[in-house]
Structure 1
Amino acid sequence: MRTLSDFLNSVTMYRLMIYFLAALTALGAVFGALGVVSYAPTEILGHAVLFVFFCVLINTALAHVWRIAPNKESPVITGLILSLILEPVFSLVGTALIFVISLIAIASKYVLTVRKSHVLNPAAFGALASSFVFGHTASWWVGIGVFLPAILIGGFLVLMKMRRFRMVGVFLFVLTALFFIDSVFFSGAGVLVALSFVGALAWSPFILFFASVMLIEPLTSPGTEKNTLLYAGFVAAIFFILQKFGGGISYLIELSLLSGNIFAKVIEPGFRQLLTLAEKEKITEDIYSFLFVTDRSFAFLPGQYLIYTLPHKHPDNRGERRYFTIASSPAEQKILLTTKIIDKSSSFKHVLRAMWPGGTIAASHVGGDFILPHTLSDKLVFIAGGIGITPFRSMVRHLLDKGESRDIILLYGARTDGDIIFKDVFAEAGIKVGLKTIFVLSEETRENANYRHGMIDAARIEAEVPDFRERIFYVSGPEPMVRSVQKMLSDIGVPMRRIRRDYFPGYEERPQKNRA
């Protein structure tokens, strides 16, 4: 599992999705050679190459027209999806058809927007247009039984990377529940027959591919967990309604997803805008802060994140799009991005570090549920490891801005005193809003009112937080540290429902033994 975690931390979800879809395409070519699918390997591969080529070409051209930097990975994903759900047509007429479908799919990202954020899943929109305009309905040929093992493996990796298991689980639960109820109570089927039917539906490669590839697409689905679950249930319900009352329409899954995309924008409007770098500061040996100004204000809650896109030459496996917590508070008006950058960091981070004031980066899609509870009387413990302090900086600054006192103990783990950031904010909060801060240093023996030597372990929790069973814990930092602290808290009797997690993939240069 450690090796798997290392792999997932080394690649962005977009790059992982490309690997997954490319593997399915290659597997389809193998099945074609073996006669398992009814298309020749050259048809399958040629179909995929043309879709990817046209999607990338059109995306580059439209980005130039709209005067925005193109994302290189998104059109590749769109092209691969379209090639896997539309029947291969490898001919002159088929090539023209592929071009037009690619044009419609990619153009939807630029034309059908709300606050410069695209609304509809481009692959689903392209497939729907193919049905309406050309009568070329998606066959979803990737959804036949022989692809099931590959879809299960690839889908598991994608969902693990994106942490969308609950979202897909809700979709499958609502879908199967509705079909089961309809089969038993309205269609007269026996319980065993109905269970067999919904079981086959839930394990259908077609449904699993749709759920693990298209349903979860981050820019056309909500960013908070509550809303993602509502969205998943909505898409499942629309699918059932169209299947039941749609008169046998052949594009019901595409229509269901697009309806869900619109629903997502209603409950959680997105945006996209360029942020302009105002200040850059190196605040420790390897931690940098970037302060950006916005074109227009947008709402977010302390502890939430933004999706940043920074196109650059020769991106590595971690790509051009990253998630970063907003370290500033809503009242500060500017967006503070603070991150760790070392020699082994991604190409994205190296380009970010080289940026000078006046440079721009695209930001979109506020999301995340790592936020303060609504009940002011809840007693809290913040546990931060390294750069995991950023969401707590946003929360604490927010409390200062509002003059709102809460019962909070902050345990901040670092190697040395020189690795600690945002001391001024936490010191001010200690005076004005009652924040108690304990710095736990693994490589310094300093011991006084605010400093401890060692690790954030069970003994430390019990010593510093005697009423820990009454508190809600917020844990943020490198993934191994977060998982270790979560287990430790559970072992000493903290219920899982009282533990909130926010981890930072990729920060594993110093393992947990030095952090917590």
Structure 2
Amino acid sequence: MTTPSNEKLTEATGVPPWDPEVDDTLVCRHVRQETHDVKTFVFSAREPRDFRFYPGQHMTFELPVDGMVMRSYTISASAARPYRIEITVKRVPGGPGSNWLHDNMLPGKEINVAGPSGDFTTDANAEEKLLFISAGSGITPLMSMTRTACDLSEPHDLHFIHAARTPSDIIFRKELELLASRTPALRLGFTVDTVSASHSWSGYVGRLNLQMLAMMTPDFKDRKVFCCGPARFMEGVRDMLKDAGFDMNQYYEESFDFGAETAGTIEEPTAAPEISGETFRVSFPKTGHVVEVSPGMTILTAAKEAGLMPMSSCQRGICGTCKSKLLSGEVDMQHGGGIRKREIDQGKILICCSTPMSDVEVEL
């Protein structure tokens, strides 16, 4: 039995693939309320397009807030249903991106995007034992992986543990329970911080700990673990697994919160390690700041050392938040998919992963 190629499938359906170098506009088709502060936004292209993405990847959205901000959101949809894209967004108090989406994104509204991109993914249908651990809106990439596996047949052996504040804050709870009821290879475990008298709850209560983990998944040491959630939650999971003697080579996590409302404030600026070689000057004409940088220092680090607070998020060249204009000079940009070739041709760079190769001027 032969498997048809992507080209043959495209020819058979008559739907061309989404080309991120050409296509950049999505149309909102539906908005679904998941919990009291979480919504799912369903998009498709203006004309039918076949979205080809790996479950766990994300797209970067241009949001008209304070001029324009870039926010990356994980695709929560199944990769096996390729004609629509879904993102699931939690409203963050004071967060410009999430609040704009919740208050303004309605069916029929268009928005510019980039991607899909990202490398946090796995094939849950492969013959290996997996453990997904998530908290809050960190459930989205793992939900995409789970939906994809169930659509393609069923997971080989998947345990899915999710932590939330209350039972009503468990995103996708009903869908996950339905999938588990129909999929013997999928097992669920939930824990919540608190339970009110109005809720009937038979699950775990309290922060995820080693005792809970061992009861939910006794063979967790034999599994490959994928984790996503707030930074402190993931730090706690890492420490818990290390203390249990887990092989951390089998641990994978999403290293930042997509859509985080932390632009420019992720961490204190730290200078790059001292490396022998020529130093260069990085100039920011709009503010008049000039910084001398050592080899290997990124332009983002230089900007922070100058006291500037540029928009940034992932710091790995993935999300596109720090996209800026290179006015002069040369840089070495090692990006992870957060910028299009045509944008590079227009002189744009991602300052989080660009190191000067000469004196440069950058417009922030």
Under TM normalisation by the shorter chain, which class is it? 0.5 to 0.7
Q: Which of 90, 95, 101 is the matching residue for 1:345?
A: 95
**Cα drift, residue 271 of structure 1:** 5.0
**Cα drift, residue 375 of structure 1:** 7.1
Matched, 1:325 2:69: no
Q: Give me the whole-angstrom Cα distance separating, in 2, the residues matched to 1:116 and 1:492.
A: 45
Who is 1:297 aligned against?
50
Cα shift readout 1:111-158 (whole Å, capped 9, x = no counterpart) = xxxx875xxxxxxxxxxxxxxxxxxxxxxxxxxxxxxxxxxxxxxxxx
Q: Give me the whole-angstrom Cα distance separating, in 1, the residues matched to 2:124 and 2:31.
A: 33
Who is 1:179 aligned against?
none
Equivalences for residues 281-296 of structure 1 within 5 A: 281-294=32-45, 295=47, 296=49
Cα shift readout 1:21-61 (whole Å, capped 9, x = no counterpart) = xxxxxxxxxxxxxxxxxxxxxxxxxxxxxxxxxxxxxxxxx
Q: What amino acid is the match of 1:487? A: D
Contact 1:396 1:425 in 2 (8 A): no
Q: Which of 477, 490, 499 is the matching residue for 2:229?
A: 477
Q: 1:475 to 1:507 in 2, by over 3 A?
A: farther
Q: Secondary structure at the match of 1:323?
A: strand
* Contiguous gaps of at least 5 residues in structure 2: 1-17, 263-364
Matched, 1:389 2:139: yes
Q: What amino acid is the match of 2:77? A: S
Q: Secondary structure at the match of 1:283?
A: strand
Q: Secondary structure at the match of 1:339?
A: strand
Contact 1:397 1:425 in 2 (8 A): no
Q: Give me the whole-angstrom Cα distance separating, in 1, the residues matched to 2:77 and 2:22.
A: 19
Contact 2:77 2:147 in 1 (8 A): yes
Q: 1:472 to 1:460 in 2, by over 3 A?
A: same
Q: Give me the whole-angstrom Cα distance separating, in 1, the residues matched to 2:37 and 2:128.
A: 35
Q: Which protein has greater RCO, CA pairs closer than 8 Å, 6+ apart?
A: 2
Q: Which of 466, 469, 474 is the matching residue for 2:218?
A: 466
Who is 1:380 aligned against?
130
Equivalences for residues 397-416 of structure 1 within 5 A: 397-416=147-166
Contact 2:125 2:149 in 1 (8 A): no
**Cα drift, residue 474 of structure 1:** 0.8
Q: What amino acid is the match of 1:279? A: H
Q: Give me the whole-angstrom Cα distance separating, in 1, the residues matched to 2:79 and 2:191.
A: 29
Q: Give me the whole-angstrom Cα distance separating, in 1, the residues matched to 2:261 and 2:234.
A: 11
Q: Give me the whole-angstrom Cα distance separating, in 1, the residues matched to 2:22 and 2:246.
A: 38
User: Going by fraction, where is strand more abundant, 1 or 2?
Assistant: 2
Cα shift readout 1:187-225 (whole Å, capped 9, x = no counterpart) = xxxxxxxxxxxxxxxxxxxxxxxxxxxxxxxxxxxxxxx
Contact 1:311 1:320 in 2 (8 A): yes
Q: What amino acid is the match of 1:302? A: P
Q: Give me the whole-angstrom Cα distance separating, in 2, the residues matched to 1:507 and 1:387.
A: 13
Q: Secondary structure at the match of 2:242?
A: helix
Cα shift readout 1:472-515 (whole Å, capped 9, x = no counterpart) = 1111111221122112112211122111101416479xxxxxxx
Q: Give me the whole-angstrom Cα distance separating, in 2, the residues matched to 1:452 and 1:375.
A: 28
> Which contiguous aligned blocks of 4+ residues in structure 1 show a shift greater than 6 angstroms?
none
Matched, 1:492 2:241: no
Contact 2:124 2:145 in 1 (8 A): no
Pairs aligned (count) = 236
Q: Secondary structure at the match of 1:289?
A: strand
- Larger Rg, first or second structure (1 or 2): 1
Cα shift readout 1:403-458 (whole Å, capped 9, x = no counterpart) = 1232111111011111012123212321333211111011028653xx21112111
Contact 1:386 1:477 in 2 (8 A): yes
Q: What amino acid is the match of 2:253? A: R
Q: Give me the whole-angstrom Cα distance separating, in 2, the residues matched to 1:368 and 1:285.
A: 29
Q: Give me the whole-angstrom Cα distance separating, in 2, the residues matched to 1:370 and 1:291.
A: 21
Q: Give me the whole-angstrom Cα distance separating, in 1, the residues matched to 2:205 and 2:124.
A: 34
Q: Give me the whole-angstrom Cα distance separating, in 2, the residues matched to 1:329 and 1:415.
A: 26
Who is 2:27 aligned against?
276
Cα shift readout 1:318-375 (whole Å, capped 9, x = no counterpart) = x5111110000123321111111133112x2222221221111112222222212477
Cα shift readout 1:210-258 (whole Å, capped 9, x = no counterpart) = xxxxxxxxxxxxxxxxxxxxxxxxxxxxxxxxxxxxxxxxxxxxxxxxx
Q: 1:484 to 1:507 in 2, by over 3 A?
A: farther
User: Going by fraction, where is helix more abundant, 1 or 2?
Assistant: 1
Q: 1:291 to 1:425 in 2, by over 3 A?
A: same
Who is 1:452 aligned against?
204
Q: What amino acid is the match of 1:289? A: T
What percent of counterpart residues are identical? 28
Matched, 1:426 2:179: no
Q: What amino acid is the match of 2:98? A: K
Q: 1:375 to 1:424 in 2, by over 3 A?
A: closer
Q: Give me the whole-angstrom Cα distance separating, in 1, the residues matched to 2:164 and 2:222.
A: 26
Contact 1:396 1:429 in 2 (8 A): no
Q: What amino acid is the match of 1:298? A: F
Q: Give me the whole-angstrom Cα distance separating, in 1, the residues matched to 2:246 and 2:118.
A: 23
Contact 1:299 1:330 in 2 (8 A): yes
Q: Secondary structure at the match of 1:394?
A: helix
Contact 2:24 2:112 in 1 (8 A): yes
Q: 1:507 to 1:473 in 2, by over 3 A?
A: farther
Who is 1:361 aligned against?
111
